[in-house]
Structure 1
C-alpha cells in the first residue's frame, strides 16, 4: 500500500499574486497550487474557506428565515413538548451523522465531499443516485425559502403593491449577483451573518424569558401554554410523526461542511472544529427555538403557519405582541430578512457545488463544470438560482400548502441522503479495518463504538418509512402520500438506471484506495491537553 500523504502534494507550486496563469489549467495538470495568501486552487475550485468560516458555516449557515416562523408549524402539529421531543430525536441523528462526516471528510477532503466518497468507496451508481437526490432536495428547499420570505415580506408590502412574482424576480437577480462573487465572499458573508443570526437568537431567547416572567406587564406565563388550552402534545402520534419530516427540513444543511471541504484551506484542522460545533447548534439553535417559542406562543394560535395559511407570523412575533410589544413584528421580520439572505446564499452554494461535482465526473453535462479563473462555478450557480421559481406554485395554491408539500418532499430526500452518508462511513470503516489501518492514524475518529452509527442508520431508515403514515388515514391523502414518498422510488430508479447503463459494480473492501488519506498530526512534545480535552481524546480513541 502506498504511504499516506499530506494534503499539499509535492507537485504543488507557489505563484505570486500577479502571476499570469490560468489557475484552472495549471490545477488540472499538476494538482493543487497556491496562489498567495494561502489560497489554493484544486479541481478548478479555490480553497478559500478559513477555519472561522467553516465553524460558522457548520453552526449557523442554514439558520434560515423559516427557522423563525416555520417552527410554528411544529407547534401547530404536535404542541410544545411533542415538537421538542421530535427535534431532539432528529438532533441525535444529526450529531451521529456529523461524527460520520467528520471521520471520512477529514481523511479525504475532496471536491464533492460525501458524494465523491460514495463513488470511491461504495458504488458509482449509489453516488449518482445520492448526488442527484441531494441536488433536487436543495432545489425544492430553495423554492421553499423564497416562498416563506414572500409570506413574511407581505407584512410590510401587501400583494396589491408587490405581486408574488415580483418578489421572485427580485430574489432571482439579487442572488445571481452575490453567489457568483466567489467562495471567499461567500465565506465572509456567512461568517458575519452567522454571528448576527446567533446574537439575534440569543436576544430573542432573552426577550422570551422576560415575556414569560411578565416583564412587559402581561402577567406571569410560566408553562401555561404547555397545559391550557391544548396540552403539551397535540394530535397524538400523527402530529409527532409529521414533526420528524419538519425537523429533517431544518436540520438538513449541517452536512454542508463535507462539500465545503473541497474549498477549505486546512481541512485536517478546520473540519473537526466545524463538526464539533454541531452539538451547540442542536442545543442552542433548534432545541432553544422550539423551547422558547413554545413557552410564549399558544400552539392553537390561528396566526401560526399551517396548510391553509396565506400569511404567517413567527411564534416570537405572536408571543411578543400578546405580551404588549405591538411593533415586535417589524423587529422579528428584520431578523428574518437577514436570515433569509444568509440561508439562500448557503442553499445555492450547496446546490452549485453538488452539480459541479456531478459535471466534473461526467454524471451531469460538462458545461456545469465550467469555472471562472477565480474558481467560481458560475454555470452551476446560475442554473441553481432558477429553482427559486418553484415559489411561483403559490399562485395556484396557498403559500401554506406550498410550504407543507415542499417540506415533505425535501424532508424525505434528507433522510435518504443522510442514510447514504452513514452507509458510506460504515463502508469506509470496514475497508480500513480490512486493510489493517489502525484507528490511531485517523486524523479525526468518530466518537464511541461503531454500533452508534449502525443504530443511526437503522433509525434514519425507520423514520424515512414512517414519516408519511398519516397519509393512509381515512380519507387517503394522495397528495401527502406522494410528497412524503416520491423520493424513494426516484432514488431507486436513479440507482438502477445508472448501474444498468454503466455496468458499475460494488467496490470491495480490499480494493478501496486509501493511499492519499490524511493522517493524524501528532501533538508536539511538551504540549499538554486540557483536562476535558484529555477526557474527550481518551473516549475517542
Structure 2
C-alpha cells in the first residue's frame, strides 16, 4: 500500500527512474495494479466478440426463458414491466461503473480486487470469498438443473448425466481460455436466436396470426388487469406485487457483473471492456423489456400454469401460449436452448469462481497453491478445486440430500446484490479519490460525468432490495424459517468474514489519498495494447457484437 499523503499534489511514489531509464510521470511504477504474475502467467485469449457475448450469455438464461411466468403471475403485465425496467436502470448504472473502474484497472478478479485497492482489503477478502463460494456452489446446481431438463426427454438414471456433465465441465475448465470464449460465443448466439424467435412467435399469436386463435392485443391488460394484488389488497397489494417482481428481476439480470472477471485474459481490455459494457446493457435490456411486454400480452396473469415449478420448458409462458395456439414443436426447442443456458451458466460460474480465487491468492487472501497455472495460462489448481465441488451434483440422486443442498445454495442468493453494491461503491470511491488527489477523471480510459451519481442510485437500490428481498416472510401467515435464512443469512456471513479478517490482519480503510491513481494512470498510458479498436464499416449492422 502506498504511503498516505495529505497534499494531493505530492507524488505517491519516489522520483527515481524505472529500469528502462525512461522516467514515468511521477516516479517508479511500483507496486503495479495489474500484477506481474497475472501478466506473465495468464494468456490474453479473449477477443472483443468473446467479451461481449460472455456478458450476453451470462445475463440471458432461465430467468428469461422460464422465470417470466412467475413475474407476470405475481405483478401482472404492467407490474412485471415496471419491475424489470427499474432493475434495468440499476444494471445500467452497475455496468457503467464496472466498465469505468475495470478499464483503468483490468485485473483478474475484477471488482473483488478493486475493492481492496479502493475501500478496504478486509472487504475484498469478504466479498471475494462470498463470490467464490457462490460460484463454486452454482456449478453443481446448474448441472442438476441441466439433468432435470434432460429428463424432459428421457428416464435414464440421473447419475449418468451428472457424470457426463461433470466431465465436460472439467475439460472446458482446464482448456485454453479461448475455448471457453468460443463456447460462450456459440451459446449466446443460440439464446439470442431463440429470444428473437419466441418474441416473433408471441407477436404472431397476439395479433391472431395462428389459424383458430383470436387477436388478443392488450386484452389481458384489461382482464384480469395490468397489476395483481399480492399478499395484501388494494394499492398496497399491487405495490407488493411490483416489488416482488423487482426482486425476481435482480436474479434474472445476474451474470452481467462477470464480464470483467477475466480482464487480465482479454485482448486490449482498456478499450474492449467499455465497448462491451455499453453494448451489452442495451441489448440485454431491450430483449428483456420486449419479452416481458410480449408475455404479458399472450398469457393472462391468473393462468394457474404460470405457477409451475417443473424446471423444464413446460413452465415457460411462451410454451403455454404456443400450446394454446396448437404449436407443438416449441417446448422441445426451448428446452434444448435452456439446457445450453444451464451449461453456459455452469461454465461462467467456473470462470468467475476460479479467477476470483486466483485473484485472492495473488493478494494473500487464499493459499498460494492456487496461483499455479498451466502452459495455456489456466489456473488449474483453482479449476481442480471447482471440479471437486461439482461432485455435489450427485446429491440430486437422493431427493432428501438434494433438498438440503438447495437450501445451502440459497444462502448465497443475495450474493449478486453484494456484488452489484460493491461495484457501485468502488466507482464512487474511485471518483472521490480523483477529486481528493487533484487529478482529472478525463485521464481515465473511459469516464462519464454523470456516472458518479448513478452509482449512488445503484448502491442505494442494491441495499434496499437486499434488506427487503425476503419481505414476504414478515407478512401474516407466510413465515418460513428456511426462506428467512436463505434471504438474509448472507448478510451476517459477509460481515463475519469482513470483521474477522479486519481484526486478524488489522486492516484499515484506504484513505482517498492512498489510492494509487497515478500508478493506475501510468500503467494505462504505458499499456501497448491500449489503442482504439478498429471496426469495419459493416460493424454498425452487427446487432450482436459489432
Same fold (TM over 0.5): yes
Compared CA separation, residues 466 and 63, structure 1 to 2 (3 A): same
CA–CA separation in structure 2 for the residues paired with 1:368 and 1:321: 50
CA–CA separation in structure 1 for the residues paired with 2:58 and 2:371: 24
Match for residue 218 of structure 2 among 219, 223, 231? 223
CA–CA separation in structure 2 for the residues paired with 1:401 and 1:208: 38
**Cα-to-partner distance string for 1:122-167 (whole Å, 9 max, x where unaligned):** 111010111111222333443443343333322211xxx2233443
Compared CA separation, residues 146 and 52, structure 1 to 2 (3 A): same
Deviation of residue 94 (structure 1)?
0.8
Compared CA separation, residues 407 and 219, structure 1 to 2 (3 A): farther
| More divergent stretch after superposition (235-244 vs 485-494) | 235-244
CA contact (8 A) 2:74 2:241 kept: yes
Partner of 1:77: 74
CA–CA separation in structure 2 for the residues paired with 1:146 and 1:75: 27
What does 1:431-470 correspond to in 2, within 5 Å? 431-446=433-448, 448=450, 450-470=452-472
Match for residue 370 of structure 1 among 366, 369, 372? 372
Deviation of residue 198 (structure 1)?
1.3
Deviation of residue 223 (structure 1)?
2.2
Partner of 2:490: 487
**Cα-to-partner distance string for 1:246-300 (whole Å, 9 max, x where unaligned):** 2222212111122121111101210110110133234223223322233223334
Partner of 2:358: 356
Compared CA separation, residues 234 and 505, structure 1 to 2 (3 A): same
Deviation of residue 463 (structure 1)?
1.3
Compared CA separation, residues 462 and 146, structure 1 to 2 (3 A): same
What does 1:173-322 correspond to in 2, within 5 Å? 173-217=167-211, 218-229=213-224, 231-235=226-230, 236=237, 237-304=239-306, 306=308, 312-322=314-324
CA–CA separation in structure 1 for the residues paired with 2:153 and 2:402: 17
CA–CA separation in structure 1 for the residues paired with 2:448 and 2:93: 8
What does 1:9-408 correspond to in 2, within 5 Å? 42=39, 44-157=41-154, 161-217=155-211, 218-229=213-224, 231-235=226-230, 236=237, 237-304=239-306, 306=308, 312-388=314-390, 392=395, 395-396=398-399
Compared CA separation, residues 225 and 77, structure 1 to 2 (3 A): same
Deviation of residue 343 (structure 1)?
2.5
Compared CA separation, residues 67 and 505, structure 1 to 2 (3 A): same
Match for residue 508 of structure 2 among 501, 505, 508? 505
Partner of 2:517: 514
Deviation of residue 310 (structure 1)?
9.0
CA contact (8 A) 1:87 1:243 kept: yes
Compared CA separation, residues 32 and 364, structure 1 to 2 (3 A): closer
SS of 1:42's equivalent in the other structure is: helix
Deviation of residue 95 (structure 1)?
0.4
| More divergent stretch after superposition (219-228 vs 168-177) | 219-228
CA contact (8 A) 1:107 1:268 kept: yes
Deviation of residue 321 (structure 1)?
1.2
CA–CA separation in structure 2 for the residues paired with 1:269 and 1:43: 20
* Count of matched residue pairs: 494
Partner of 1:414: 416
Q: Which runs of 5 or more residues in structure 1 are unaligned?
A: 4-8, 12-27, 34-40, 534-541
| More divergent stretch after superposition (373-382 vs 278-287) | 278-287
TM-score for the superposition, normalised by structure 1: 0.83
| More divergent stretch after superposition (388-397 vs 340-349) | 388-397
**Cα-to-partner distance string for 1:303-357 (whole Å, 9 max, x where unaligned):** 4355687984221111111111123211211222232332322221111111121
Compared CA separation, residues 454 and 281, structure 1 to 2 (3 A): same
CA contact (8 A) 1:141 1:406 kept: no
Q: CA RMSD in A?
A: 3.3
CA–CA separation in structure 2 for the residues paired with 1:367 and 1:187: 25
